[in-house]
Structure 1
Amino acid sequence: MSLNSIFQYFVPKDKKFFPLFEQAGNNLIEMSQLLKDIVNSNNPEKKKEFTRKMEDLEHKGDNITHQIHLELGKNFITPFDREDIHSLASSLDDVADFIHGAANRMDLYKVEKATEPMIEIADLLVEATEHVSKAIHELRDLKNIRNITDSCVRINSVENKADYIFDKAVADLFEFEKDAISLIKHKEVLSAMEDATDKCEDVANVLESILVKNA
């Protein structure tokens, strides 16, 4: 191993990790906006096109997560705790998985028309991922703790709204939906969407842990 290689091994990799996290955050916004397009579209061909693009974005997210884990293995010094880097990467990946899962269920179960609660949660998911991305971008400068904290509070608020909409929607399904198959399909899609907002809250929890350790 050359001297330069040894030196590079010990240099903090802010230029490695932060861009990857920011890419992951931006990718989540794209995915949530695409899910919003899917639930608001009544054009079967357009929905198929959106679903194919969602697959590509999910793979892109997986590749970013994989790259973060590779960098963790290659670098001795990291911008913050290795455990927190791993947790943040995993929680961001979970958000992507559930957004993709919601779109996939709509396609597989042939849910042709989204319900109003699906549209509402999709809107909230866009809002949540925007706050996730904003907080991630603030990680480069931990002096802006207030900005990160504000985003985390907003993510939690969005998640609470999504919980309420989900619970009310499921209650209405059991009360008014007479077709058992339709009930199951709608509940499965709503569940994946609501789980995605839960995973955004997990990201906020990891970010808050990072703030506490680096305050």
Structure 2
Amino acid sequence: MFGKLLPREGNFFELFNQHAGYIVEAAQAFSQLVANYNNLELRAKYNEAVDHAEHAADRVTHEVNRAIHVTFITPIDRDQIHALINTMDDVADLMQDAAETMALYDVRTMTEEISRLTDLSVKCCERVRHAVSLLPRIAEPATMEAALKTCEEIDQLEGDADRVMRMAMSKLFRDDTEARELIKLKAIYELLESITDRCEDVANVIEGIILENS
């Protein structure tokens, strides 16, 4: 009788999709922030947009974690649900951290490396959204293959970001960069590269879900 009183499936996949959408929204707003950095009005506008998307993602994360405790039968393992939503939330948090760090450190100009890492971060977030959208149908062989392929693409993008990061660091320490600017840029590079790292972590969680549920 008790089991009949509790939700049996919940709307976890829909919540995952909502969260992934907010991750992409944050990434695209951050990309516009970088592209329009010299325009103070637009910089403030896109900074606010990043914050808005991150806060919306937080609300979805809280809803998923609440639903885990009140749903009797979940569509996938509870630990997998918890790992996926919280790893996804880390991506949104890092995006906000990068935007806030730029403001707090008073970064004056954008570098080519920031632009390249930002572009890779956006692509990673978009691939995360695509992989998440496939989860409800991973029992279908073609969908499972498509999801695994998308996870591989995220891994490749993360590898590209690693290479850009190494070159960016080499350039920072090789060139005659003023000490304070070096510290600022190093922090930004590391944050942006960590976004792609966390997207790769999301891909790893999704791969685990696929392998255990296919």
Structure-1 residue corresponding to 2:212? 213
The whole-number CA distance in structure 2 between the counterparts of 1:30 and 1:87 is 21
Structure-2 residue corresponding to 1:11? 8
How far is 1:10 from its partner? Answer: 5.3
Write out aligned runs for 1:66-85 (5 A): 66-85=62-81
Amino acid at match of 1:75: T
Contact 1:36 1:122 in 2 (8 A): yes
Work out whether 1:35 is the aligned partner of 2:30: yes
Structure-1 residue corresponding to 2:18? 23
Write out aligned runs for 1:55-204 (5 A): 55-142=51-138, 143=140, 144-204=143-203
Amino acid at match of 1:60: A
- Cα gap change, 1:83/1:166 in structure 2, threshold over 3 Å: closer, same or farther? same
Amino acid at match of 1:208: E
The whole-number CA distance in structure 1 between the counterparts of 2:75 and 2:193 is 32
Greater displacement, 63-72 / 49-58? 49-58
Contact 1:29 1:129 in 2 (8 A): yes
Contact 1:95 1:196 in 2 (8 A): yes
Contact 1:145 1:211 in 2 (8 A): yes
Number of residue pairs matched by the alignment: 210
The 3-state SS of whatever aligns with 2:109 is coil
The whole-number CA distance in structure 2 between the counterparts of 1:25 and 1:105 is 23
- Cα gap change, 1:80/1:131 in structure 2, threshold over 3 Å: closer, same or farther? same
Contact 1:44 1:112 in 2 (8 A): no
- Superposition TM-score, scaled by structure 2 size: 0.95
The whole-number CA distance in structure 1 between the counterparts of 2:213 and 2:127 is 21
Structure-1 residue corresponding to 2:50? 54
Q: How high is the sequence identity, in percent, across the aligned residues? A: 34
Contact 2:3 2:72 in 1 (8 A): no
RMSD: 1.3
Amino acid at match of 1:9: L
Structure 1 consecutive aligned stretches of length 4 or more whose deviation exceeds 2 Å: 5-8, 10-13
- Cα gap change, 1:132/1:72 in structure 2, threshold over 3 Å: closer, same or farther? same
